[in-house]
Amino acid sequence: MWLFEDSCVICDAAANGICSSCVDQLVTAEPPRLLDISSVTALFSYEGVGAQLLQALKFKNRRAVLGTLVDALCESLPTDVDAIVAVPGHPVRVRERGVDLPAVMARRISRRLDIPTAEPLLRIDDGSQMTRDRSERLSIEFRAVRSAPHRMLLVDDVVTTGATAVACADALRLAGSASVSFAALAATPAPKFTHQGAVS
């Protein structure tokens, strides 16, 4: 199943892309529920091998592994979708790492499910953000350039709180979308509560 690459992206064992023992260590994702997003799908949890896998995909160009993961994700995606759009990456970070994972994922899902990609969202990130305090800097805004199709699938590599996905969904609705679903490869694990009620 894992084709075309001769060593495991995680442990360097001889394997096609990723070895079976690393695959076995992936934890099933429990993606967050997000306000006004009709469905949230994620493949594995962003912890342990899952976190290493995402880092490897971001910083090495391992298209075969990425392709296989995206194909697995496609098995669980809603198909009543008119168009697919990626969460726009931060331009500086995309340049540094060389792989714009959400964009690559969106193109692959588009081909696989035979659903077109939509005009990319714009990330509104003016220079003034650098001088604001942390809480303000976290509120990133997005804008759709053209009117957005009725039913959208939004794609990102990893979902944490989902704030970015919700901001993108807001932009799509402003541009005319009636429903937005969301898919990511990985979801950060939900906070665990101890018996004292503390969050770790």
Nearest alpha-carbon partner for 188 in 50, 2, 15, 17? 50
Interacting residue ranges for Zn ion, rule: CB under 5 A? 8, 10-11, 13, 19, 22
SS3 12: coil
Find the shortest distance in angstroms from Cβ 60 to Zn ion. Answer: 14
Nearest residue (CB) to Zn ion, 17 versus 102? 17
Q: What's at 121, amino acid-wise?
A: L
Q: How far is CA 69 from CA 23, 60, 107, 195, in A?
A: 11, 15, 14, 36
* Beta-bridge mates of residue 156: 184
- CA 183 – CA 137 distance, rounded (Å): 24
Nearest residue (CB) to Zn ion, 8 versus 43? 8
Find the shortest distance in angstroms from Cβ 8 to Zn ion. Answer: 3
Find the shortest distance in angstroms from Cβ 195 to Zn ion. Answer: 35
Nearest residue (CB) to Zn ion, 1 versus 163? 1
Nearest residue (CB) to Zn ion, 11 versus 113? 11
DSSP E strands: which ranges in the chain? 40-45, 83-86, 121-124, 141-144, 151-159, 179-187
Find the shortest distance in angstroms from Cβ 49 to Zn ion. Answer: 8
Nearest residue (CB) to Zn ion, 25 versus 160? 25
Find the shortest distance in angstroms from Cβ 28 to Zn ion. Answer: 18
Q: How far is CA 158 from CA 3, 10, 40, 80, 177, in A?
A: 23, 18, 12, 23, 23
